[in-house]
Amino acid sequence: MPWFFVSVWKMISRFLDKATLEKIVIISNEDEKKQLTREVGEDVLPEEFGGHAKLVLLQDVVLPPLEDSP
């Protein structure tokens, strides 16, 4: 893990509530990555994190036009 992230995280984490800190998990090794994949599932985990889901950037989303209501 980059030293910059570790330093920033140490500063920020001091201001977070204990309950909030317990919800945050930083994946730092292969075993933790495998556990995340098991818990979340490969189908919904983005490819960049080892899953099969393809992410679409919000600016690339094309919405169908709204229909006029009578």
- What gap in Å lies between CA 21 and CA 52, rounded to an integer? 28
What is the model's pLDDT at position 23? 92
pLDDT tens digits along 21-60:
999 988 888 898 888 888 889 999 888 888 899 888 888 8
Confidence of residue 3 (pLDDT cuts 50, 70, 90): confident
Q: Which amino acid is at 52?
A: H
Are 47 and 53 in contact by the 8 Å Cβ rule? The answer is: yes
Report yes or no: 43 and 34 within 8 Å, Cβ to Cβ.
no
Model pLDDT, residue 15: 95
Using the structure block, give the residue that is written with the tokens 């984490």: 13
Whether 2 has a pLDDT exceeding 80, the answer reads: no
Instruction: For the chain, give every domain's residue range.
Output: 3-52
